[in-house]
Chain A
Amino acid sequence: MDTITRRQFLKATGAGALGAAAMSLSIEEIANAAISRPLPPGTPILVVVTLYGGNDGLNTVVPASDPLYQSLRPGIAYKPEDVLPLGENLSLNGSMTGMHSLWNRNQVAIVRGVGYPNPDRSHFSSMAIWQSAIMGAAKTGWLGRWVESQPEDPMLAISLGSVLPPLLAGNRRSGSVLPLGGLKVPRGSLASDCIKLAIESQGDNLLQSMAARTMRNLFTVSSDITPILQSPAPAAPDLPTALGGNAGGETNLSQQLDIVAKLVAAGAPTRIWSVSLGGFDTHANERGAQAILLGVVSQGISKFMSQMRASNRSKDVVVLVYSEFGRRVRANASDGTDHGTSGPVFLLGERVKGGFYGEQPSLSNLKSDDLAVTTDFRDIYASVLEKILSTPAEKILGNWKGRTPLFI
């Protein structure tokens, strides 16, 4: 697989946008990146899975045997026999069979009670805090700042979908975006004219130079990636075809992860991938809706990990799963939950030291009806930056001291 892909990189480069070689960013640079450093095996890769809407942590990592849990949310609580035991009186939501089997292989770290001081219950403010790792108004994402700390390379960090998440936004440079349908680059004379539009011009303001840059990336990123996207997804040989309860129905998240799997297996020189799933804002009729979503997450990730095992990249990939906040402990009258505070964060992969981290927030000691925050999310980011992205955390997070020893 690796060799074929490298050849594809070469071919695509030769056939594609050689005209761009005259531009300030040379196509050779990226071709060379794909050939000379097609991400050498052993280079860690981060896959960030953002769950939009505020995932209910208490029904994800479930204290099912805690009588307080049962009495605080009677309409939506799970019985111990409906969930998958993890130990320490906690269990995984019953729909997450794939992730449960990874847990049993010691490849899942669950950080409990993750949040930040004075939790903000606004989706937008809280997601901005999580994605920027800055309290208050921020214009850049933590991984966007990482991109800017690296030599320019549009392949370095890629988000699936058509809109750039704040996570990957930098001041002058940002991560790239890859639409699910792949990229269709103009050809012929229109292409050579568009490439001319992709040069930054002296009079450009910040946004105009970014617009030129995205046009340029369209030609560089797409000529490298398109051939890979057209190849079949790597097989997931050790995975049963039907996973518990969630048979059928291609979901958007699994589609995104399939593309990431192809590109990672191909050796794309990409260190960060960003994928997402929405719909976690379960103010009403939560149980069924959340279980379906968590099933999609679990099935998508376990299939992805299996594809990685078939591709020799399984030792390199770390998956980070988070949401902007957890939800209220008590259910509301619509059998849903309102916005809350802390929640669990998942890290998966062979580099991860499986097990629990952080203290489970106590149900008998709620802070004005909400779960306490026992781990700051920046502890996790700092460890990810240092161990997975090989970058001093100070460069990205400022003077942040906390760490979570998640990795082998």
Chain B
Amino acid sequence: MPMASVAERRRMARLVHRFGFGPRPGEFESLLSKGFEQAAEQYLIAPASDAFADNQGSPVVSDQGRRPAPNSPDVVAYATQKRAQLSSLTFWWLDRMVLSEHSLRERMTWFWHGHWATSYQKVDDALPMYLQNERLRDHALGNFTAMSSQMVIDGALIFWLDGQTNTVKAPNENLSRELMELFTLGVNRYSEEDVKETAKALTGYRVNKTSGAVTYNPRQHFSAAIKVLGTQRSFDANSLSDFLVARDDCALFITERIWYRFVSSMNPLTDTTLISSFASRDIGALVKAIGKHASLDDPNNSMVKSPIDWFVSAARALSITPSKFSNPNSITNYLDQLGQRPFFPPNVGGWPADQAWLSTSSAQYRIQFAERLVREADLSPISTLAANSRLDALANWLAVPEWSNRTKMALNGAINDPARLTILALCSPEYVVSA
């Protein structure tokens, strides 16, 4: 097989790091030998079944009911169980990200979690967060009309955005604004009058906070016609969602959002023909079109790995199972320090991108986290090799297109120490940034 060029390696590295969570040992070489076209066909379509995910089972989460009174005998058991549920849910998902045979579905579920960003911070119950997570997964590569229609009646989302206090008498605009601004249309593609009006369409939905169940009470729903984006008619949450998703602005917006997370947060969407691949609101078709798009050949479209990207891809390479880690809490602690923990987006806009992840502080925690991970890692992909072939093997193991002279110098200093070598590689600018 001819050696892949740096450009070919970069293209393949972008495929595996952005549309998946990085390669497992041996995977990058095998994809390179297939060539990009074939690798992309395989990578950008999620198969119906998955050897790991299908057999993983569910996290241990259940409706805990209301919190017992303070100082009552039951409150300690309740709080302990609450912590255990959140932990079970978190590691269930981290395991799924790391161990799924095919990464695209989890990658897209992660993307949608940042899109319909809902935080446990306020929801405060694991079950509604889990139900939302499964909903996002079910539709992750499906039809956006169906996804949005399910999400506007998602218990965790409604509770997070105060939808349960939205009444006919005085509508609460939190959910209606974010539905248009952040979930379906994009900012300023509606008027302030539209925000006020759509809030009325979202009245009448009540959430059972601990179970996440949503009930619709037609008597509390504003059923008269309202005027939204120039159309006068009556709406409920589902028909409003369908109406918004059908608009051209929705196709533009979702294309922009996927572009922002998968191609570049710094260079705006340039090729508007991509939007047409979302004409039928088929998410999978849009992702496939973007994944194969020529913009991903452009060296300017580099991206910083977010803490989850970085951790999950490291865990995949290092053969680490998050839930089996000797102290799983240390994983969530480091993710917290780095500013990105699943189920805790900082706000409804989701996590930041690129530059925000490059700080003195994150440099520090990345080094500590890498040190911690390497202690439980399988380093055989490089430790079994002779020192003089380790640098190339390291680049393939971690799907790095090429090492700079700077990094080669640093790595060569540790070439006889596989653990230190791995820590340095994981903290190098070439790994931290998806070039």
Contact = CB atoms under 8 A, between A and B. Distances in A.
A289 to B, nearest CB: 12
Interface stretch (B79-87, B97-105, B288-296, B350-358): B350-358
B264 to A, nearest CB: 10
B364 A218 contact: yes
Contacts of A338: 172-174, 177
A177 B172 contact: no
A140 to B, nearest CB: 10
A15 interface: no
Contact of A193 (B338, B347, B410): B410
Interface string A149-174: 00000100000011110100100001
A174 B172 CA distance: 38
A26 interface: no
Nearest to B193: A368
Interface stretch (A201-209, A290-298, A399-407): A201-209
A193 B414 contact: yes
B118 interface: no
Interface string B160-175: 0110011101111110
Nearest to B406: A201
Contacts of B170: 330-334
Given A194-B424, A284-B162, A179 B364 contact: yes
A178 B360 contact: yes
Interface string A272-296: 0000001001011000000000000
Nearest to B170: A333
Given A120-B188, A197-B428, A212-B429, A162 B172 contact: no
B298 to A, nearest CB: 11
Nearest to A137: B268
Interface in B316-340: 337-339
A122 B414 CA distance: 49
A214 B359 contact: yes
A120 B190 CA distance: 12
Interface stretch (A93-101, A107-115, A183-191): A183-191
B392 to A, nearest CB: 17
A336 interface: yes
A123 B302 contact: no
Interface in A306-355: 330-334, 336, 338-339
Contacts of B303: 207
Contacts of B361: 161-163, 177-179, 183
Given A200-B406, A214-B360, A284-B162, A208 B337 contact: no
Contacts of B364: 179, 183-185, 218, 222
B358 A211 contact: yes
Contacts of B356: 163-164, 166
A254 to B, nearest CB: 20
A259 interface: no
Contacts of A176: 359-360
B172 A122 contact: no
Given A123-B349, A183-B364, A197-B406, A332 B172 contact: yes
Chain B CB within 10 Å, residue with most, of A162, A174, A192, A201: A162
B360 A208 contact: no
Given A122-B177, A193-B424, A332-B173, A207 B360 contact: no
B263 to A, nearest CB: 14
A264 to B, nearest CB: 19
B190 to A, nearest CB: 11
Given A179-B361, A185-B364, A201-B406, A334 B162 contact: yes
A37 B367 CA distance: 32
A268 B247 CA distance: 54
Nearest to A205: B302
B413 interface: yes
Given A211-B358, A215-B363, A284 B172 contact: yes
B435 to A, nearest CB: 6
A33 interface: no
A208 B172 contact: no
B404 interface: yes
B261 interface: no
Contacts of B27: none
B195 interface: yes
B362 A162 contact: yes
B407 interface: yes
Nearest to B355: A169
Interface of A: 52, 120-125, 137, 139, 154, 161-164, 166, 169, 174, 176-179, 181, 183-186, 189-190, 192-194, 196-197, 199-215, 217-218, 221-222, 278, 281, 283-284, 330-334, 336, 338-339, 368
Per CB-CB distance, the 5 closest pairs between chain A and chain B, nearest first, are: A333-B170, A334-B165, A177-B359, A196-B410, A201-B406
13 contacts: A201-B405, A208-B435, A211-B432, A214-B363, A221-B360, A283-B161, A284-B162, A330-B170, A333-B167, A333-B171, A333-B172, A334-B162, A334-B165
Interface of B: 161-162, 165-167, 169-174, 177, 181-182, 187-188, 192, 195, 266, 268, 299-300, 302-304, 337-339, 346-349, 352, 354-365, 367-368, 371, 402, 404-407, 409-410, 413-414, 420, 423-424, 427-430, 432-433, 435
Given A196-B413, A201-B405, A334-B167, 11 more contacts: A124-B181, A164-B355, A186-B371, A192-B413, A196-B406, A197-B427, A200-B406, A204-B406, A207-B302, A210-B355, A218-B364
